[in-house]
A and B are shown apart, each in its own frame.
Chain A
């Protein structure tokens, strides 16, 4: 009962502190303008008296907050000292104002400066506790454009197999979803999780890992409780673990909560691996392309050619003539400045012919090429053999000739070539036995057996 009452008072600390802050700021403002205001002294006495009284209340409520909020003394220590100093200064100034002899020799200016300074320090230290030490640095960085965010790196499973599961996967999850409330400053349930030693120490109910019956581990139970349950972790208000993260942590605990065992040893299921890793090399080239310059983009767009990055922050571009069906072979020169940026090029339905290939061979990073519904016959398509990244070629409803189909076998990384033709051009070809059907798509499906 009393405990709850004290907790309640503690919770009000962030509110109560603003009373002395208000008084002191008001006091300082009046003090600075005292020449203008004839009446200042009486008011200041009143103000700094109340600043001291409310200050004492702030300190008391802050103490309860510290006791019940799961904070460590090291964290709140400086804030506490600064707070006490603030009150002492306010009260000393009050004493000087009522002409106490001890404070007479100290100049008033000094009080003003000291009061302002200590107020800022106390406030800032308090902010650090509630919002984290970075709470000012972060927005400032963002303002001036320093990007603190980690860039997303591609993680291949193969590179990770041998690394410990804990440090590569579990630790980052705990850092993201648990450490906010379980760290050296704020240890809810007396549990700290910011490093492995603390993690193993456990919380107020002892170890959170049970090596004998892993499923009875406090950590295991809590992440599995329904979200509505009070003891569910992370609490309903916090950022939740995903299904896959829960399975992964469970797997780690079930298999003995080892910090050393490698990822391979856990024999993770495929869907879990896919969730945390890339298992395939990416579709588009893995190199950095230079930033395409604005002038060429403007020029290209003026010609009604659609051009956009493959995703927002990529320098790789997809280009399409979908809105300019009069596109001719010569128009490809518009793209000459950005050759290496184009990874996907769609010239379907346009007026291009086979001579386009002599131009296309300069698009070194070209990965997807669409030439559907054009008069392409395939003559000179061998010029594209040099394009190491070319993976998909679309030649649906073209005049592609049988004799050139074999050229595609020389393409290094070709995954698919679409040769379907509504007129069934290749009826004489032994389509399904002569060609690798994984790569060659002739279509012409029928629903009759």
Chain B
């Protein structure tokens, strides 16, 4: 009780001091000087103009990147659980020959795995590979539709991460740090560029597959950035955004009046304290009001033409990856900056049927194959692929060894977590068509060339949006922070 009173008193004191004569003398004299100085300085600077200093109070007002970017939007397809590169894109015929043989000592020395213990057996590719498209790049028979868009894609075959558990690895992939507290890449993008469509959030998140990522909502959190930049999760089943609808008996006009009054009070508060979170609050009220109409519209796929619904393979009313891909296209064409899709269920250990490479994994492949091909083609025919970046990947890859949990062979075929080398791909604006960068050894275990890091991928995404990842910073706790921390190099090999 005592504590609460203390806290309340502190609040009163703060409030009083903000309005007192002393406050005026203490803070405003400096402030006045500052105002005078800033006028004086800007007067000297003929370059000053409205377009360069975005003085808008709206934190989501669209603004320009420092460099000419190649894309306006990003659609990031994350396969939660880490899909096996060895059954999808990384063709390793040599691995066949070692199938069921004990893993060579050299691969195990000094290594730590999530589940593998002792000496596991090698596991040959559980899929057939073929060269597809004009580029002749490899793809497995798990992805028959992917062959049709393979020439649009640049592969990264030697991505590495230093995390081997899902949560931290996902955080690392999306926030640049395996620990909590950093803003996600979508938040950085909206922080830097705002939202083109003022009726929709700049950063939207859709999930499918029946589970949420291990990393939790922090994967689309805004970290230390103002919370207005966090991702807004939408559901493709039921109300798209929870708690968005008005309660019974409240009309839209009444709601408008209410929001106007609240925002007025909040703006006064902002003038006093200059706390960016107040701006966040104002724009969230505004956004929620406009979203009540705009979001159900963009989330409705019933009105799409039949040939489009068929192409994606959607089932309206369901929560499916196919629906989400179509929604992603709709969002991007409505000016949403960053659309993040999470599809759960790729953790193919083989400890149960769902997780088996010959069972659940194949079903997962079917669920994503057609929608991804449809997404790329649909973006292409609408001219959106030139200005959208599509990224596909998991949080890491999988071992060429068969998993033997606690030293015993698993019931189904499966592979353990593996971060040394795995495959991701990118397609769209600024990306080379049909390129491959990076190569792994004959088992798909270690990178041989073209090794790229998680930070390299982030640097590349920011580059395509028009940012120099080394200069794109936010000051927090006394020092500037970057998405890529102190690392990261743009992967120029896959840039057009």
Binding site for B on A (CB under 8 A): 144-145, 242-244, 271, 274-275, 283-284, 291-294, 297-298, 301, 306-314, 317, 320, 322-323, 370, 372, 392, 394, 396, 416, 418, 420, 422-424, 441-447
Contacts and interface: CB of A to CB of B under 8 A. Distances in A.
A307 B311 CA distance: 36
B380 A441 contact: yes
Interface string B297-323: 000000001011001000000000000
Interface in B172-204: 196-199
B382 A446 contact: no
B68 A284 contact: yes
B489 interface: yes
Contacts of A311: 64-69, 466
A274 B437 CA distance: 15
A418 B492 CA distance: 28
A447 B382 contact: no
A340 B67 CA distance: 21
A143 to B, nearest CB: 9
A68 to B, nearest CB: 30
Smallest CB-CB A-B distances: 7 pairs: A443-B381, A418-B383, A445-B377, A420-B381, A422-B305, A311-B68, A297-B50
A444 B381 CA distance: 7
A310 B68 contact: yes
B254 interface: no
Given A312-B65, A447-B145, A323 B197 contact: yes
16 contacts: A306-B62, A307-B51, A308-B51, A308-B64, A311-B64, A311-B65, A311-B67, A370-B383, A396-B381, A423-B305, A424-B307, A441-B381, A443-B382, A444-B381, A445-B311, A447-B311
B240 interface: no
B261 interface: no
Given A294-B49, A418-B381, A441-B383, 9 more contacts: A283-B68, A306-B62, A308-B63, A308-B64, A313-B52, A443-B382, A444-B381, A445-B380, A445-B381
Nearest to A283: B68
A243 B381 contact: no
B495 interface: yes
Interface string B340-380: 00000000000000000000000000000010011001101
What size tier do the contact residues of chain B reach?
A: 35 or more
Contacts of A308: 51, 62-64
B45 interface: yes
B380 A396 contact: no
Interface in B477-496: 489, 492-493, 495
* Chain A interface main SS type: loop
Nearest to B199: A323
A396 B378 CA distance: 12
Contacts of B305: 422-423
Nearest to A282: B68
B335 interface: yes
B148 interface: yes
B44 interface: yes
Interface centre among B148, B199, B383, by most A CB within 10 Å?
Answer: B383
Contact of B370 (A275, A323, A420, A447): A447
Contacts of B198: 323
Nearest to B466: A311
Given A306-B62, A310-B68, A312-B52, A396 B492 contact: no
A394 B386 CA distance: 12
Given A145-B45, A274-B492, A445-B311, A306 B383 contact: no
Contacts of B69: 311
A340 B373 CA distance: 40
Contacts of A396: 381-383
A394 B63 contact: no
B64 A291 contact: no
Given A292-B51, A441-B381, A441-B383, A309 B64 contact: yes
Nearest to A417: B383
Contacts of B493: 271
